[in-house]
C-alpha cells in the first residue's frame, strides 16, 4: 500500500495551488501524468490532485475526467482514493438534484480500475458492493447504456473475489471462509439472477471451483483473466448491450451511444486526447466495443493467439468472413508488407486485408495493438499499420502512439514518415485548430521514431524545418533530445553525443533531466567513462532524481568492472545505499542484484589486485555469481557422467590412452594438460575422443570444487 506524507511543506504548497485552478485547468492537469508508464515520483502530486477532486470538485468536472482521475489513482497505487472517487460520484448521480440537472443519472458505471483497486486492498466487501452497483445498471437501468462495461465489471468482481480466496487459502488465513462466502454471494445473487438460463446447469460450487483452477494454474501472470472471460463468453455471462441511448458528457467531451431496436449501435468518443492513453475521435459499434473489451482481457497474459481469435470473430460478424488473422498477420505478412506478392493468391490476400480495414473500428485496432505491444510483437504491429495506411485509413493519435514505438524498433521509416506527414499537415492547416496539443505530441513522437530509423539528413530535412515553421511549442530541450536519440542509434553514438553536448554548452542551455537521461543512455552504450561524471553532475545540479539513472550507473559499472578505481566503486555503492537503504538487495533492484553483489565483492575483496599479486584467487568467493554461471550453481552435475556397465568403466573400452586426473588429485596443477601431456597421435593430429573425455573430467572437478552451493 502506497503511503504519502501529506505533512510536508511541498505537499501543502501544492494542495494550496490546486484550490485556485479553474475547472477547465484542473481537468487539463491530467495530461501531466502518464497512466501507461507512471512515474512513482509523481505519487504525491497525484494524491494532491485526487484529494482536491474529492474535497470540492467532484460535482464540477465531467464523468470522463472523474473516471480518468480514478484510473490515475489506481495506477499510482492509491486504491482507497480510487474507490472513494467512484463512490462519491456514484452517490452524486443517484441523488434527486443530480437527476434533475442531468438526464443521464446513473450512467456512471463501474470500471475495471475500480474493481482492481478493491482487489488490491483485499476487500471482498467492496467487491460485493461494486457488484451490487453493476447489478443495478444491468437490471434496473438498462436504458442508460454502459451495459457492456457493467457486464464485464460484474464478472470481474466475481473473478477478483475468487483470486482473494485463492491467496488467503494459500496463506492459511482465517479470512478465507468469509471471502469464499462473498464470492458465492456475488455469483448467486447477481450473476445467476441476471443470467438464469446460463447458470441453470452450473452450481455455485462448480463455478467457484472452475474459476479457482483458472487462478491457481495460470502460467502467464494474469491470474487466469483470459481463461475466465473466455469461460464467461462461452457460458453466456456477458451482455452485449441493448436499448437506445443518447449520452453527452459535459466539459466538451462527447460520448454518444445510439442503438437500434436490433441491438446494434455506435459509441462515439470525442474531445481532446493526450495521444497516449485515450481513444480519440473514433466511432465504434457496441458489437465491436464488446469484442474490444474481450481483446483487452488478453493483454496482461500476452495471449496474442486468443486476441487474434476474437479479432477474427468480430470480423466474421461484420461480414468479412473470408479474412482471418492468419491472412492479416500470418506468414505472408512480410510479402504483403513489401508490396510484392509471389503469386495471385498473395495479391488476393492484400485485397482482403484492405477489405477488413474498412469495417473494423479504430478502437478495436487500438485494443489489438495494445495486446501485441504487451507481447512485444512489433512485426505484427508494423504490418497492421501498413495495411491500414494502404487502404487510406487515418490513424488516431492513440493508435499512432503504439505504432510509432514498434516502427522505431523495427526501423520502419515509411510508417514513421506517415505519422510525421499527418501531424505536420494538421499543424500547418490554419483552419484546423482542434486538438493542436495532440498533433504536437504526434509530431514529436514521430520525430523520435524517425531518429531511431536513422533516416538520412534527419536534422536538416525533418527536425529543423519543424522548429522554423513553429509547428510545435517545444523548446530547445525537445530539439536536442531528438538529436541525442538520433545519435544513440547511429553508428557513431559517442561522436554524435559529443557534438550535441558541445552545442548545448555553447547555447547555455542547462542540462535538464531529459537531456541527462538521453546522454546516459549513449554513454552506457559506448561504456564511456563520462557517465560517472555526468551522474555526479546530475545528482548535484538537477532538482529531480530518477531511479533509472542509478540502474544505468550499475550496468555501466558492471561493464567496466576491471577499469574502476576503489574510490569509484565506493561512490557507486554509497549511492545505492543512499537511494535504497541498507536493504538494497531486497529492494526494487530486482535484476540488478547480481551487478550490485559483484560490485560490493570487488570493493571488499579486491580480487583483481589479489590475483595480480599472488597469482591465486581470493579465499572468499562471491555469494551471487554471474548469471552466465547459473547452470553451474543450480545444476552442479549437469555434465553427462558415464555410468559403469557390469562393474567396468566404459572409458576403458576406448582405444588409446585413457586420460585421468594425475594422482587422483582434484587440484588444477594435477591435471595432465598442466603437466604438458598432449592428446595428439603419432601423425600429429588431435585425438578428439580422448580430449573430450579429459574436458569432461575437468568440468566435473570444477563443479565439485568451485561451483557447489551447500
Q: Let me know: does 288 contact 364? Beta carbons within 8 Å.
A: yes
Check whether residue 300 and residue 233 sit in a common domain.
no
The reported pLDDT for the residue numbered 651 is 44
- Length in residues, the chain: 710
Summarize pLDDT for 93-104 with one digit per residue, the tens.
665 444 444 433
Task: Please say which residue of 206, 240, 274 terminates a domain.
Answer: 240
Q: Is residue 709 part of a domain?
A: yes
Domain annotation covers residue 446: no
Report the chain's C-alpha Rg in angstroms: 31
CA–CA separation, 538 and 526 (whole Å): 19
Give yes or no: residues 349 and 418 share one domain. Answer: yes
297, 515, 569 from 540: Cα distances, Å: 44, 15, 19
My answer on whether 111 and 192 are in the same domain is yes
What pLDDT score does 695 carry? 72
Same domain, 701 and 558: no
649 and 585 within one domain: no
- DSSP assignment of 595-654, as one string? HHHHHHHHHHH-HHHHHHHHSS--SSPPSS--GGGHHHHH-TT-S--PPPBTTB-GGGGS
SS3 248: coil
Q: Looking at 200-214, 273-287, 568-582, which range is the least confident one?
A: 273-287
User: Is the domain of 40 the same as that of 133?
Assistant: yes
In degrees rounded to 5, what are phi and psi of residue 106? 95, -5
Residue 406 bridge partners (DSSP):
none
Least confident window among 54-63, 170-179, 358-367: 358-367
Closest CA to 304 of 369, 356, 359: 369
**173 and 284, same domain (yes or no):** no
The boundaries of the domain holding residue 564 are 546-624
Q: Please check whether residue 597 lies inside any domain of the structure.
A: yes
pLDDT averaged over every residue in the chain: 78
* Co-location of 551 and 671 in the same domain: no
Region of poorest pLDDT, from 29-38, 162-171, 518-527: 29-38
Work out how many domains the chain is built from and give that number.
Answer: 4
**pLDDT value of residue 584:** 64
pLDDT of 346: 42
My answer on whether 65 and 203 are in the same domain is: yes
pLDDT tens readout for residues 384-394? 899 888 888 88
Q: Is 641 inside any structural domain?
A: yes
Pick the last residue of a domain from 602, 624, 646: 624
Which residue, 570, 594, 624, sits at the end of a domain? 624
Three-state DSSP class for residue 180: helix
* CA 410 from centroid of its chain's CA atoms: 18
Q: Is residue 176 part of a domain?
A: yes
371 and 383 co-located in one domain: yes
The DSSP call for residue 267 is E
CA-wise closest residue to 579 among 534, 618, 546: 546
In a domain, 330, yes or no: yes
Quick one: 424 and 567 in the same domain?
Answer: no
**521 found inside a domain:** no
| 397 assigned to some structural domain | yes
Phi, psi (5° rounding) for residue 197?
A: -70, -40
74-87 confidence digits (pLDDT tens): 999 999 999 999 99
H-type alpha helices, 344-463 = 344-359, 362-374, 378-390, 397-410, 413-428, 436-452, 458
Same domain, 589 and 612: yes
pTM of the shown model: 0.75
Lowest average pLDDT, out of 251-265, 301-315, 672-686, goes to 251-265
Identify which of 251-255, 364-368, 647-651 has the greatest average pLDDT: 364-368
Nearest CA to 376 among 408, 345, 344, 352? 408
Under DSSP, is residue 528 helix (H, G, I), strand (E, B) or coil?
A: coil
Amino acid at each position: 500500500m502506497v503511503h504519502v506524507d501529506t505533512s510536508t511543506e511541498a505537499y501543502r504548497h501544492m494542495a494550496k495551488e490546486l484550490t485556485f485552478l479553474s475547472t477547465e485547468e484542473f481537468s487539463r492537469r491530467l495530461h501531466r501524468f502518464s497512466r501507461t508508464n507512471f512515474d512513482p515520483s509523481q505519487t504525491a502530486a497525484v494524491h494532491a490532485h485526487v484529494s482536491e477532486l474529492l474535497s470540492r470538485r467532484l460535482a464540477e468536472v465531467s464523468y470522463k475526467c472523474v473516471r480518468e482521475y480514478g484510473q490515475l489513482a489506481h495506477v499510482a497505487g492509491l486504491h482507497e482514493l480510487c474507490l472513494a472517487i467512484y463512490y462519491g460520484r456514484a452517490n452524486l448521480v443517484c441523488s434527486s438534484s443530480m437527476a434533475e440537472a442531468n438526464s443521464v443519472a446513473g450512467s456512471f458505471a463501474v470500471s475495471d480500475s475500480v474493481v482492481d483497486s478493491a482487489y488490491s486492498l483485499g476487500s471482498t466487501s467492496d467487491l460485493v458492493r461494486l457488484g451490487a452497483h453493476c447489478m443495478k445498471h444491468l437490471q434496473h437501468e438498462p436504458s442508460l447504456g454502459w451495459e457492456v462495461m457493467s457486464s464485464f465489471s460484474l464478472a470481474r468482481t466475481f473473478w477478483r473475489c475468487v483470486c482473494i480466496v485463492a491467496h488467503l487459502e494459500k496463506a492459511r488465513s482465517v479470512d478465507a471462509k468469509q471471502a469464499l462466502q462473498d464470492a458465492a454471494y456475488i455469483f448467486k445473487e447477481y450473476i445467476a439472477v441476471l443470467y438464469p438460463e446460463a447458470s441453470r446447469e452450473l452450481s455455485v460450487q462448480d463455478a467457484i471451483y472452475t474459476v479457482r483452477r483458472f487462478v491457481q494454474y495460470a502460467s502467464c501472470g494474469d491470474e487466469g483473466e483470459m481463461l475466465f472471460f473466455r469461460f464467461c463468453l462461452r457460458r453466456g455471462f456477458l451482455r452485449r448491450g441493448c436499448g437506445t441511448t443518447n449520452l453527452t458528457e459535459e466539459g466538451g467531451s462527447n460520448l454518444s451511444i445510439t442503438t437500434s431496436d436490433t441491438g446494434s449501435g455506435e459509441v462515439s468518443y470525442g474531445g481532446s486526447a493526450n495521444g497516449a492513453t485515450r481513444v480519440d475521435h473514433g466511432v465504434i459499434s457496441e458489437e465491436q466495443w464488446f469484442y474490444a473489451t474481450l481483446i483487452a482481457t488478453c493483454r496482461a497474459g500476452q495471449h496474442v493467439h486468443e486476441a487474434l481469435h476474437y479479432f477474427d470473430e468480430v470480423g466474421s460478424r461484420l461480414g468479412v468472413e473470408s479474412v482471418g488473422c492468419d491472412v492479416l498477420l500470418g506468414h505472408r505478412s512480410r510479402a504483403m508488407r513489401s508490396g510484392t506478392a509471389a503469386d495471385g493468391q498473395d495479391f488476393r490476400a492484400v485485397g482482403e486485408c484492405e477489405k477488413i480495414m474498412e469495417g473494423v473500428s479504430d478502437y478495436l485496432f487500438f485494443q489489438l495493438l495494445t495486446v501485441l505491444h504487451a507481447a512485444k510483437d512489433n512485426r505484427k504491429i508494423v504490418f497492421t499499420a501498413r495495411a491500414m495506411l494502404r487502404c487510406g485509413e487515418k490513424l488516431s493519435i492513440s493508435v499512432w502512439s503504439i505504432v510509432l514505438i514498434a516502427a522505431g524498433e523495427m526501423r520502419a521509416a515509411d510508417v514513421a514518415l506517415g505519422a510525421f506527414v499527418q501531424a505536420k499537415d494538421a499543424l500547418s492547416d490554419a483552419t484546423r485548430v482542434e486538438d493542436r496539443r495532440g498533433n504536437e505530441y504526434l509530431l514529436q513522437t514521430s520525430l523520435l521514431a524517425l531518429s531511431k530509423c536513422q533516416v538520412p539528413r534527419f536534422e536538416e530535412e525533418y527536425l529543423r524545418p519543424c522548429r522554423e515553421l513553429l509547428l510545435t511549442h517545444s523548446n530547445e530541450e525537445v530539439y536536442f533530445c531528438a538529436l541525442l536519440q538520433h545519435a544513440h542509434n547511429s553508428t557513431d553514438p559517442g561522436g554524435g553525443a559529443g557534438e550535441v553536448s558541445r552545442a548545448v554548452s555553447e547555447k547555455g542551455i542547462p542540462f535538464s533531466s531529459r537531456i541527462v537521461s538521453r546522454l546516459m543512455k549513449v554513454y552506457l552504450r559506448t561504456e564511456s567513462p563520462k557517465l560517472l561524471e555526468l551522474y555526479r553532475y546530475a545528482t548535484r545540479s538537477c532538482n529531480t532524481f530518477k531511479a533509472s539513472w542509478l540502474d544505468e550507473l550499475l550496468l555501466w559499472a558492471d561493464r567496466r568492472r576491471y577499469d574502476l578505481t576503489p574510490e569509484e566503486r565506493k561512490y557507486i555503492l554509497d549511492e545505492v545505499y543512499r537511494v535504497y537503504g541498507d536493504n538494497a538487495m531486497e529492494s526494487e533492484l530486482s535484476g540488478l542484484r547480481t551487478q550490485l553483489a559483484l560490485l560490493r565483492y570487488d570493493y571488499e575483496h579486491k580480487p583483481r589486485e589479489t590475483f595480480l599479486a599472488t597469482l591465486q584467487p581470493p579465499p572468499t568467493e562471491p555469494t551471487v555469481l554471474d548469471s552466465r554461471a547459473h547452470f553451474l550453481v543450480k545444476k552442479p552435475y549437469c555434465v553427462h557422467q558415464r555410468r559403469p556397465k557390469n562393474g567396468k568403466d566404459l572409458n576403458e573400452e576406448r582405444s588409446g590412452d585413457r586420460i585421468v586426473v594425475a594422482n587422483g588429485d582434484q587440484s588444477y596443477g594435477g591435471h595432465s594438460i598442466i603437466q604438458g601431456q598432449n592428446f595428439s597421435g603419432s601423425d600429429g593430429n588431435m585425438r578428439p575422443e580422448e580430449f573430450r573425455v579429459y574436458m569432461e573430467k575437468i568440468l566435473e572437478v570444477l563443479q565439485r570444487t568451485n561451483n557447489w552451493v551447500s
